[in-house]
Amino acid sequence: MYQIEAPFYFYLLGIIPVVTLIYILVVIWKKRTINRFGSIDIVNKLSPQRSTFKPFFKFILFCIILILLIIGLANPQMGKELQTVKREGLDIVFVVDVSKSMLAEDVAPNRLEKSKRLISAIIDNLVSDRIGIVAYAQKAIPLLPITSDYNAAKMFLQDVNTDMLSSQGTAIDAAIDLSSTFFNTEEETNKLIFLLSDGEDHSNQVLKSISKANDLGISIFTLGIGTEKGAPIPIKRNGKIVNYKKDNRGNTVITKKSRDILEKIASKGKGEYLEGNDTEKVLAFIEDLLKKIDKKEFEAKKYVSYKSHFQLFLIIAFILLFLDCFIFETKTKWIQKLNLFNETK
């Protein structure tokens, strides 16, 4: 089996007809120029060592070198054997709180950015696990279905912001319900939900959602973002704070992390609560957790292993190019007897 890695390079073969046309025009021009000085016989007598075949031979050699270089750029690949690759891992869904309280700056740069950076750091430590992303405030929305494309996950993660949902609140139950639909119940992979939130304004229906998730074999881990002391919610314009969110009485709202709520969710969800403010501890815990949990096979693919062979074409091209440097357009005395270039004495 074979394939061409970069077939678009074959378009460069269009150079060959152009070069051929230029060569023909040059040959015609030379003949016309020679005819101005006299007949061909007289010119041959004046330059007896001039070869009539070698210029054509060098042109053919140049075209061959050009073709070999283009083939080398296209990189022909030969298939060696059919291989089966098995992938084992976990299914993980990251649930991100995007309510306005996540704009509080009691952790740098703010709670939401801290959550996004933490998720990105966790993804960097994953190997063959599949991941998904859900954002929620008063309702939950899917951002990325279960995938093994970590680059896509990071790209979607960059776009997460508190303006994604106009209605505010913190419907953790809706987020858990939506996350549960991400998992394939027919697969026996271990399923985890990592919930990143400050735990404020939770719904009373969250326990029912946790129970449903447990029935599906899903474990819920909560990562608390923010401080229990709390901080005001800034209102920014052009990147600068112009005010802070206020309640109906005109008092500045102080948003605090509800650790008790997040611990309760983790306990009921058969997971654990983590202090999300400490990135190193979170990463160490998750690394240890992933080592302990059995990873199930969720994907097996068969593919042909291809080996590149561009080197052969490039080597031949450079050898011919090197030899071309030693082929002059004059007759070769010691080869004249062999008449390799159809030359006559």
| 344, part of any domain | no
| 35, part of any domain | yes
Residues 192 and 320 in one domain: no
| 238, part of any domain | yes
Residues 255 and 319 in one domain: no
Residues 136 and 206 in one domain: yes
Each residue of 158-183: pLDDT tens digit?
A: 989 988 887 666 788 899 999 999 99
Residues 267 and 316 in one domain: no
Residues 256 and 323 in one domain: no
| 37, part of any domain | yes
Residues 256 and 145 in one domain: yes
Residues 50 and 161 in one domain: no
Residues 167 and 18 in one domain: no
Residues 237 and 317 in one domain: no
| 179, part of any domain | yes
35 — pLDDT class (breaks 50, 70, 90): confident
Residues 32 and 136 in one domain: no
Across 127-151, average pLDDT: 91
Q: Cα torsion for 323, 324, 329, 334, to the nearest 10°?
A: 10
Each residue of 228-264: pLDDT tens digit?
A: 999 999 988 887 888 998 888 889 989 999 999 999 9
| 343, part of any domain | no
Number of domains making up the chain: 2
Percent of the chain with pLDDT over 70: 82
| 272, part of any domain | yes
Residues 99 and 194 in one domain: yes
CATH number of the domain that 178 lies in?
3.40.50.410
List the domain range (segments joined by +) for residue 61: 2-75+309-336
Residue 34 pLDDT: 73
Residues 135 and 204 in one domain: yes
